[in-house]
Structure 1
Amino acid sequence: MFPLPLLEHASSSVLPYVNAGALVALLLACCLAKFYRKRRDLANIPPGPKPWPVVGNFGGFLVPSSIQRRFGQQSASTSAVRNAIVILTEQADIYGNVYSLFVGSQLIVVLNGFEVVKDALSNHPDVFSDRPDIPAVTIMTKRKGIVFAPYGPIWRKQRKFCHTILRNFGLGKLSLEPCILEGLATVKTELLRRNEESGGAGVDLAPLISNAVSNVICSMVLGQRFHHEDREFHTLLGLMERGLEICVNSPAVLINIFPLLYYLPFGVFKELRQVERDITVFLKRIIAKHRETLDPENPRDLVDMYLMETLAQQAAGEEDSGFTDDYLFYIVGDLFIAGTDTTTNSVLWILLYMVLYPDVQDKVQEEIDEVVGRHWVPSLIDKGSLPFTEATIMEVQRLTVVVPLGIPHMASRTTEFRGYTIPKGTVILPNLWSVHRDPTLWDDPDSFNPARFLDDNGELLRKECFIPFGIGRRVCMGEQLAKMELFLTVTSLLQAFKFRLPEGLPPPPLHGRFGLTLAPCPYTVCVSTRS
C-alpha cells in the first residue's frame, strides 16, 4: 500500500490531465454523435464513398493514397501521387454523375458531365446559384464582392452595376485593344532582354505575363498601370499567388473543418493572415486616394464610378443597397485576383503546349503570317480569319480548364434533383474537368488536337459542351475580356517569337498545380525572333 500523503499528491498532480482527457473524450463523443445524427437525417442524398467520422472524406479517398495504404485504407485510386481532380472525376464511374462527399460534416455534391452540370446551373439557377459559407473564404471575403458573395438582390445589383461600368470602360470592345497591346509591347521587349541575359537558361514567362494581364484590369478598375519593375506591385502579385496556394495546398485547408485554426500564431496560418493584411493595405490605400481626388465630372475608372454611386445611394436614403466603401474593397479584390490569375495561367498553359507541340506552333505561325503578316500587329478584327489559332487556344483551354471545379455553388433550398434530395446548404461542385474530358463528347479526350474545333471546311466549330468560363447565372463576368487578352497575347507573341525549351531540360509535368485555378508547373523557355 502507498502512504496516504503520496496518494493525495499523485491524485492532485494527475487530476488536470484526467480532466483534460475526459474533456477531449467528451468533445469527440459529441462530434461523433452529431456526425452520425446528421448522416441519419440526410435521407435520399446522392451515393458516395463512405466518410470517416469528424473529418469526412478527408479521411478516405481525399487522403494521399500512400497514407491510405499505410493504414490499410483502400480507395478507387491506388497510385502514390494522384491529381485530386482526376480522382473526383473517376468517382463518377463508381457512384454516378451525381454523388456525395463530406468535408467534416459538410455535405458536398459533385456534378459530372455536361448534361448534369447544365441541368443544375442553367435549368435550376434559383436553386444552385448561391455560394456556400466556406470558412477560409468567408474569413477573408466576409461574403462580399462579386465572386464569393451569396446569390440574392444585393449580389445581382452589384454584378449588374460592375458589368455595366466595365463595359463603359471597354470590356469586350475594340476600344480596349490598345491597352492590351501596350502591355504586350513591354512583354516582348523584356522577353528579348531577359532571354539574352539568361545565356540559354531560359526565361520564366509567369511574372511578365501576370504583370501585363493584371495591368489591363488595373486600368479599368483602378485607372492606372504599374511598371513591370514596380517592386510593390510585383510583391502584390506574389502575395496573391501565395495566398491562393496556401488556401488549397497547405495545412491551412483544414481551416474549412476547424475555422479557429486560422488564428494560430505560427506556420502557414500566420503567413495567410499576413498575406491578407498586406493585400488589404495596398488596395485600401488606392481606394482612399481615389476618394480624395474624386471628380464627379470626370470619373476615371470603376472605383470612381462606384464611389459616386455610393454617394448617390446614401443621398437617396437607400442604406440597404449594399453600395458601401467596404463592399467596394471586396469587389476590387475579386476583380483584381480573378482578372489576373485565370487569364495569366491560361496564357502560360497555351505557350507551354506550343513548346511541347512545335508542329502546332509552326502551323499557328504560318496562319498568322498568311493573314496578318510579319509587320502588322495582330488585331481583334483578325480573329475570324485565324480559325486554327482560335481552335488551338480553345483546345488548350479544354485540356487544362484553369478553374476545373468552378467556384463552389450552394443549394439555397432543399430540392429534388435527378432523383435525389439535395438539402439546403449543400455545397455543389460543378466538375468542368469531367465535361471537357468526357469520351462521349470528345473523341480521344486526353489527346491534344486543335482540329476537333474545326469543321470539314477548316472553319471554327463552336461546341455547347465547351464551357471553360462556367455556365448559368454565375458564369465568369470577365469572359469577354479574357478571350480578348488570350487572342491578342497568343497571336502577338507567336508572331514575334519562336518558343522552345532550354537545351537539356525535361518538359514540366502536365498535371499542373491546383490553387484557386489550375496553373502549369513552373517552366522556362528560350525565345528567338522570327523576323
Structure 2
Amino acid sequence: MTLMVTSNDASAFSTAWRGVPLPEIKKNRKKMAWRLKEDKQDYFKNRRPKGFPPGPRGLPIVGNIFSVDQNKTHESLTQFARKYGNVYSIRMGQTWMVVLNSLEVLKEGLITQGDSMVERPDVPLLDDVLHKQDLFSGKIWKQQRRFALSTLRHFGFGKKSLEQVVLDEFTNCAAYFSKYKGSLFNPQRIVTCMTSNIICSIVFGHRFEYSDEKFVNLIDMFDEAFQIQESIWSKLYNSFPGVMRLLPGPHQTFLQIWESVKDFIREKIREHKKTWDPSEPRDFIDCYLNEIEMNKEQNDSDIFNEETLIGIALDLFSAGTETTSTTIRWAFLYMVKYPEIQEKVQAEIDRVIGQYRQPSCDDRTKMPYTNAVIHEIQRISNIVPLSVAHATNKEVQLLDYTIPKGIVIIPNLTSVLLDENEWETPNTFNPGHFQNKEGEFVKRAAFLPFSAGKRACLGENLAKMELFLFFTSFMQQFTFSMPAGVKPVMDYRFGITLSPQPFEICAQSRLN
C-alpha cells in the first residue's frame, strides 16, 4: 500500500509555511523541538488496533493530513470509501478518525447506536476559543442544549409566530436589492446580514441595520473564519497544538476573529444587565441571565455562568448566520443557471400566492414544485459536507469493526446527498428528486443536510422556515440573471461550509 501525495497537497504544505518569519521560528525552536519529540513518542501508540476499520497508510507524525486534498476534503474522503469501504479510518496527526459513509451506515451510527457516538471530540483550535463552554462540547452539553431549545422555542424558534420577523427582514433586504435597478451587484454581505438578523432578534432582542459598521465587520469576519477552520492550518493546529500555538499564521487570525466576536457579545450582555428585568425576559440573553441567578442561589454555577453564555451566544450567532445565507446564495446561482426552473417556480408562486401577498409557511403544502426546488438546492449544494464531528463514549461494534472509546467520528453527508444509489441523477440539479409522477412533493430518506440523531442541527426547524419564506419571497419579487453571455460559476470554496465563489448578479423587479 502506498501513500499518494498530490501536487496540490505539496503546494498546500509549502504555502502553509511560506509566510512564517524565520526569526519567529528560531525564537521558539527549543520549545518546538521539545513538542515534536513528544509527538514522535506518541506516534508509536497510534497503530491501528485489532478489528479497527482499514484505511490509507499515513506518514510518520502527520498521518493522513497530506493524503487529503485540503480544498476538497469531502471529495477525498468520499473517494477513500470506494477503496476501503463505507466504514474506514484515517489519522490526522495523532488523532484517529473513523469516517462513516452511505445512508445505511450513517443511520446505524448516528441513530441506532447514536448514544454511543453522541460526544464531541476535543478540537484544540475551538477549545482555545471557547474552552468547552459552549452549546456543543463539554460535559454539560445536554443541559445547555435542553435549555437553549426550550428558550428558543419560547421566542418563536421555528414557529409560525416568527414568520413576520422573517418577512419584515426580507422587506429590508428587498429594498436594498431594488436600489440596483437590475444592475450587477454582489449579494453576499446583504444576504448574510439578512439571515443573521433573524437569530440576532432572538438572542440579542433586536436586529442590526445593514449600515451598522461593527455588525457588518463581524459578518465579514465570519466568512474568513469558516475558511480557516477547515484549512491546512487548522489541521496542523489540531494535530500539534503545542507547536502551532507558538507560530504565527492564519490560525492566529482565526483566534483573533472569535475573540472579537466574544467581545461583541460581552458588550451586548453588559448592555442587557443595565435594563434587565428578571420578571420580563426580552430575549435569550435575559433568560440565560435569569438561569445564572437561579443557579447562584443553589450554589451551582458550574452549569450556567457568563462565560458559557458567551460561548452559546457565539454558537447561535455564527451558526444561525452562515448556513442559511450560503444556501440562499446557491439558490440564486441555480436559478440563474436554470431559468426555466426559475420561471416554473414563479408561475407556481403567482398561482398560489400572487405577486403582492406575503408568503406564509402554510403555503408550502400547496407549492410542491417550489418546495422540491428548495430541497434540491440543499441537496446538491451540500452546505455542510462533513457535518460536525462526533466521538465515541464507549467501545462500539459497527459492521464488522470494533471502534474503541474516544475515537473521532466523521459523518460524511456527501456520501449520502450525492449517492448514485439513492438519487436518480445525483450530480445534476433535478427538482424531480423530490416529486412523484403526479407532481406531489415526496420526502426522501437520503435527504440529510441537517445530519441525524441526537446531535442533528439544533436550528433545523428555523432554517426550513427561513429558506421557504426567503426563497419564495425572492422569487415572488425578483427575477435573477447574469448579463448576456455571462454564465454563473458554480465552483465552491471549501470551509466549514461549501460556499459559492464570490459573484455578482442582476435582480430585476417583477412588481409593476
> TM-score w.r.t. structure 1 length?
0.87
User: Quick one: structure 1 residues 34 and 165, their matched pair in 2 at CA, closer, same or farther if it must change by over 3 Å?
Assistant: closer
* 1:438-477 pair list within 5 angstroms: 438-477=419-458
Counterpart for residue 36 of structure 1: 44
Cα-to-partner distance string for 1:443-477 (whole Å, 9 max, x where unaligned):
12111110110112211101122111110000111
Paired amino acid for 1:92:
A
Choose from 157, 171, 174 the match for 1:185.
171
State the Cα distance separating 1:195 from its structure 2 match. Answer: 4.6
Counterpart for residue 257 of structure 1: 239
Cα-to-partner distance string for 1:20-72 (whole Å, 9 max, x where unaligned):
999999976764453134206x222100000111000013x2157xxxxxxxx
Paired amino acid for 1:516:
I
State the Cα distance separating 1:264 from its structure 2 match. Answer: 4.0
State the Cα distance separating 1:249 from its structure 2 match. Answer: 2.7
Paired amino acid for 2:236:
L
Choose from 150, 153, 160 the match for 2:146.
160
User: Quick one: structure 1 residues 285 and 262, their matched pair in 2 at CA, closer, same or farther if it must change by over 3 Å?
Assistant: farther
Describe the SS at the equivalent of 1:399: helix
State the Cα distance separating 1:339 from its structure 2 match. Answer: 0.5
Contact 1:50-1:57 at 8 Å conserved across structures = yes
1:134 aligns with 2:142: no
1:362 aligns with 2:343: yes
Counterpart for residue 195 of structure 2: 213
Describe the SS at the equivalent of 2:179: helix
State the Cα distance separating 1:171 from its structure 2 match. Answer: 1.1
- The CA RMSD over aligned residues, in Å, is 2.1
Contact 2:478-2:510 at 8 Å conserved across structures = yes
Instruction: For structure 1, list consecutive stretches of 5 or more residues without a partner in the other structure.
Output: 1-19, 65-81
1:94 aligns with 2:83: yes
Give me the whole-angstrom Cα distance separating, in 2, the residues matched to 1:52 and 1:265. 22
Larger Rg: 1
Contact 1:239-1:279 at 8 Å conserved across structures = no
Contact 1:98-1:110 at 8 Å conserved across structures = yes
Count of residue pairs the alignment pairs up: 484
Give me the whole-angstrom Cα distance separating, in 2, the residues matched to 1:461 and 1:316. 50
Give me the whole-angstrom Cα distance separating, in 2, the residues matched to 1:522 and 1:248. 18
User: Quick one: structure 1 residues 31 and 312, their matched pair in 2 at CA, closer, same or farther if it must change by over 3 Å?
Assistant: closer
Give me the whole-angstrom Cα distance separating, in 2, the residues matched to 1:429 and 1:52. 20
1:245 aligns with 2:227: yes
1:382 aligns with 2:388: no
Counterpart for residue 75 of structure 1: none
User: Quick one: structure 1 residues 112 and 235, their matched pair in 2 at CA, closer, same or farther if it must change by over 3 Å?
Assistant: same
Counterpart for residue 429 of structure 1: 410
Counterpart for residue 507 of structure 2: 527
1:57 aligns with 2:64: yes
Choose from 69, 77, 85 the match for 2:74.
85
Give me the whole-angstrom Cα distance separating, in 1, the residues matched to 2:186 and 2:33. 52
User: Quick one: structure 1 residues 289 and 30, their matched pair in 2 at CA, closer, same or farther if it must change by over 3 Å?
Assistant: closer
Give me the whole-angstrom Cα distance separating, in 2, the residues matched to 1:173 and 1:93. 42
Give me the whole-angstrom Cα distance separating, in 2, the residues matched to 1:253 and 1:180. 37
Give me the whole-angstrom Cα distance separating, in 1, the residues matched to 2:214 and 2:31. 48
Give me the whole-angstrom Cα distance separating, in 2, the residues matched to 1:350 and 1:22. 51
1:498 aligns with 2:479: yes
State the Cα distance separating 1:521 from its structure 2 match. Answer: 1.3
Paired amino acid for 1:180:
V
User: Quick one: structure 1 residues 157 and 29, their matched pair in 2 at CA, closer, same or farther if it must change by over 3 Å?
Assistant: closer
Cα-to-partner distance string for 1:200-258 (whole Å, 9 max, x where unaligned):
4x111111111111111011111011001111100011122212222223534311122
Cα-to-partner distance string for 1:279-310 (whole Å, 9 max, x where unaligned):
12111100111122111122100110110011
**Identity over aligned pairs, percent:** 37
Contact 1:264-1:270 at 8 Å conserved across structures = no
User: Quick one: structure 1 residues 88 and 459, their matched pair in 2 at CA, closer, same or farther if it must change by over 3 Å?
Assistant: same
Give me the whole-angstrom Cα distance separating, in 1, the residues matched to 2:29 and 2:459. 53
Contact 1:136-1:253 at 8 Å conserved across structures = no
Describe the SS at the equivalent of 1:38: coil
1:109 aligns with 2:98: yes
Counterpart for residue 299 of structure 2: 317
Paired amino acid for 1:53:
P
Choose from 295, 305, 310 the match for 2:277.
295
Cα-to-partner distance string for 1:429-449 (whole Å, 9 max, x where unaligned):
000111011111111211111
Contact 2:65-2:235 at 8 Å conserved across structures = no
Counterpart for residue 70 of structure 1: none
1:371 aligns with 2:357: no
Give me the whole-angstrom Cα distance separating, in 1, the residues matched to 2:198 and 2:32. 53
Describe the SS at the equivalent of 1:528: strand
Instruction: For structure 2, list consecutive stretches of 5 or more residues without a partner in the other structure.
Output: 1-27
Contact 1:415-1:421 at 8 Å conserved across structures = yes
Paired amino acid for 2:506:
C
User: Quick one: structure 1 residues 176 and 450, their matched pair in 2 at CA, closer, same or farther if it must change by over 3 Å?
Assistant: same
Paired amino acid for 2:133:
K
Cα-to-partner distance string for 1:344-378 (whole Å, 9 max, x where unaligned):
11111112111111111011001001100112111
Describe the SS at the equivalent of 2:397: strand
Describe the SS at the equivalent of 1:117: helix
